[in-house]
Amino acid sequence: MYVERLSLTDFRSYTQADLELSPGVTVLVGQNGVGKTNIVEALGMLSTLGSHRVSSDAPLVRFGADRALVRAGFVRGAQRSTLELEINPGRANRGRINRGSPLRARDLLGIARTVLFAPEDLALVKGDPSARRKFLDELLTVLLPHLAGTRADYDRVLKQRNALLKSARASRFSRRSSGPDSRDSSGGATVESTLDVWDAHLAQAGARLLAARLTLVDRLGPHLDAAYAQLTDGSKVARALYRSSIEGAVPDDDSDAGAPEEAGGVVRGDAAAGREPADGTADDDAGSPPRGGRGLAGLGVAEIGERFLAALAEARPRELERGLTLVGPHRDDLELLLGDAPAKGFASHGETWSFALALRLASYYVMLDDSSVAGDEPILILDDVFAELDATRRARLAAIVAKAEQVLVTAAVDADIPPELGGRRVRVVPGGVDDAEAPVPESDRG
């Protein structure tokens, strides 16, 4: 797959920008602040519907405009398609396919596939669990677009359940402050029965989401280890283990996390199945169900839903006290390990970068495995990544990505691009793109 044209209207700094593209490597070169990242950000949004830089839509619309429009033409095998995303801050975004009738934005999912590498990816390793959950869910909705609806259902029910818990908590404190004579058990019974209803809905949607995440982590595992070895000397094994809060692994650095509970959680996704870590010691977690033999490995959606309901029942007293839903996919984490040590806090800066890049490469390889038609290879986007890497990692990453059908790279100067990459250079200037193709400097030709 490749994008052959991209058009932006009132997106970020652009009133109007049009860019013609082709297969192979294209490097967008320009000074910092001229809008290189805006171009690749827009393309990435057609794939995931989200920005890798901001969490809301408002910054994506040019100041003074009421909406932004991103349109791109894609070639997928022998088929051509045009996708359009209308970004409406404060209102529902809309999509169009081949200039047809307006659709829900999520109807675009799964058509355009991109993998975007950016400096923000360091948060996948160093950041909060929410960054790693977002990584999994964005990849899932590209591979399985219907899961966007499942995630929306889960978030809707979670919001309603949290509102009920918060209201019940406030009422409880109010009754306590008014004295024992003011307490009314009927109100508590109503809350409990309403929570039972929300629990059933939450477990239904949450079990589907959790089952999909577990399967995805298993698929990512071998690719993650292989990609990390490609980027480094291969002396350490890279692994990703899914930690589920319904099995007791509550992350301690989420904004809504309570006191740390018993460590554990379901372990899935050993990146080197049947292989010991590089130091020769066996991994005690891998394949060992946590909390007295309980684990989610091998369970179906219905069984995971039952575990979820049991966890909600167990957590209910604490949730009523806190006014928050304390278990569920919204509280889970993807633990990243180098050998036996957590990458977060123990990996060097170079190792952290390599791990973040390996996660993105692993997602690229999973998409390749998932390709259903010829020409379905995802587009690779590298946003100002090479400037952050040493010469060795630059060369190794360039050698890997250069094989893709289409690669888009942003850089402030030509010197940031390793000679192994080559390709076409396009100059980005304030407000648009210079139509004249910049020649590849002799120093970049190797």
Residue, of 261 and 336, whose pLDDT is higher: 336
Share of residues in the chain with pLDDT > 90 (%): 75
Determine the residue type at 419: P
Cβ atoms of residues 157 and 198 within 8 Å: yes
Picking from 191-205, 271-285, 325-339, 388-402, which range would have the lowest pLDDT averaged per residue? 271-285
Average pLDDT for the chain: 86
Q: Is the pLDDT of residue 381 over 60?
A: yes
Residue 177: pLDDT band with limits 50, 70, 90: low
The model's pLDDT over 329-368, given as tens digits with 9 standing for 90+, comes to 999 999 999 999 999 999 999 999 999 999 999 999 999 9
193: which DSSP letter? H
Spatial distance between the Cα atoms of 392 and 418, rounded to a whole number of angstroms: 10
Q: Is the pLDDT of residue 441 over 60?
A: no
Cβ atoms of residues 304 and 207 within 8 Å: yes
Residues in the chain: 446
Residue pointed to by tokens 């018993």: 262
Residue pointed to by tokens 């809707």: 156
Question: What pLDDT, on a 0 to 100 scale, did the predictor assign at position 153?
Answer: 98
The model's pLDDT over 147-169, given as tens digits with 9 standing for 90+, comes to 999 999 999 999 999 999 999 99
Spatial distance between the Cα atoms of 405 and 376, rounded to a whole number of angstroms: 9
Residue 133 main-chain phi, psi, to 5 deg? -65, -40
- CA gyration radius for the chain? 24
Q: Is the pLDDT of residue 109 over 90?
A: yes
Residue pointed to by tokens 């589907």: 208
Beta bridge partners of 17: 8
Average pLDDT over residues 192-207: 97
pTM: 0.86
Average pLDDT over residues 275-295: 37
Closest C-alpha among 380, 356, 350, 387 to residue 32 = 387
Cβ atoms of residues 401 and 407 within 8 Å: yes
Share of residues in the chain with pLDDT > 70 (%): 83
Do the strands 333-338 and 24-29 form a parallel or antiparallel pair, or are they unpaired?
A: unpaired
Question: What pLDDT, on a 0 to 100 scale, did the predictor assign at position 431?
Answer: 84
Question: What pLDDT, on a 0 to 100 scale, did the predictor assign at position 171?
Answer: 83
Do the strands 432-438 and 79-87 form a parallel or antiparallel pair, or are they unpaired?
A: unpaired
Average pLDDT over residues 216-232: 97
Q: What would the CATH number be for the domain defined by 2-113+378-444?
A: 3.40.50.300
Residue 77: pLDDT band with limits 50, 70, 90: confident
Strand order in the sheet with 68-76: 14-20, 2-11, 68-76, 79-87, 94-97, 103-104
Picking from 18-27, 273-282, 337-346, 429-438, which range would have the lowest pLDDT averaged per residue? 273-282
Spatial distance between the Cα atoms of 350 and 356, rounded to a whole number of angstroms: 10
CATH topology of domain 147-346: Glutathione S-transferase Yfyf (Class Pi); Chain A, domain 2 (1.20.1050)
**Domain locations along the chain:** 2-113+378-444, 147-346
Picking from 6-20, 249-263, 291-305, 381-395, which range would have the lowest pLDDT averaged per residue? 249-263
Question: What pLDDT, on a 0 to 100 scale, did the predictor assign at position 295?
Answer: 78
Average pLDDT over residues 106-132: 96
Burial class (CB in 10 A: 0-12, 13-18, 19+), 414: middle
Question: What pLDDT, on a 0 to 100 scale, did the predictor assign at position 279?
Answer: 35
